[in-house]
Amino acid sequence: MFDSNLIRAATALLAECRSRGLMLATAESCTGGLIAGVLTEIAGSSDVLDRGFVTYSNAAKSDMLGVPPELIEANGAVSSPVAASMAAGALLRSRAALTVAVTGVAGPGGGSESKPVGTVWFGLASHGASPSTQCQVFSGDRTAIRRATVAHALVMLDAAVKGR
């Protein structure tokens, strides 16, 4: 289901989290649960992955993660403030020490001049720190954009875990 590079990255991340006693949670929009999916592809991942939130609609972002609807209205779902709020909401609603959130435009439609297809905002949250965000613009079709988003989320999580 997942390519060997993603499996290797997920396996390494799980091992690093396990060695540090850290649990993770995901809050996913454009990936539809693929980050949690690649982590759970590895047997025994339940000692690291607490849960994954698939919040594809704006209502789900609000209902499940507590993202204020007015934040989405003011900034759009694909934005730094919404990614940060998603990550913070996942942290509050899980037993995780570290969360990653993704919200983006996977295409083929839905893009705009300011947020072209391939635009993805990432959020990271951990206890005792303000959420951080970053934006990436990936190229390719929907599958390539979603795959690149998963790969980048794993890299971000790994760097955050190693930086603790």
What pLDDT digit, counting tens, does each position of 16-51 carry?
999 999 999 999 999 999 999 999 999 999 999 999
Q: Is the pLDDT of residue 164 over 80?
A: no
Crossing angle of helices 58-65 and 80-92, rounded to 10°: 40
Tens digit of each residue's pLDDT (9 = 90 or more) over 71-103: 999 999 999 999 999 999 999 999 999 999 999
Output the pTM of the full model. Answer: 0.97
**Residue 109 confidence class, pLDDT cut points 50, 70, 90:** very high
CATH class, range 4-162: alpha beta
Residue type at 21? G
- DSSP 8-state code for residue 129: S
Residues 5-24: tens digit of each pLDDT: 999 999 999 999 999 999 99
Edge to edge, the sheet with strand 119-126 lists 49-54, 24-28, 98-104, 119-126, 132-137
Sequence ranges of the domains in the chain: 4-162
Neighbouring CB atoms inside 10 A of 60's CB total: 15
Using pLDDT thresholds of 50, 70 and 90, give the confidence band for residue 145: very high
Q: Per-residue confidence at 120, pLDDT binned at 50, 70, 90? A: very high
Q: Please state the rounded mean pLDDT for residues 124-139.
A: 97
- Would you give the end-to-end CA distance of the chain in angstroms? 31
Average model confidence (pLDDT) for the chain? 97
Cα-to-chain-centroid distance, residue 21: 20
What is the percent of the chain where pLDDT is above 90? Answer: 98
Q: Which is more confidently placed, 164 or 11?
A: 11
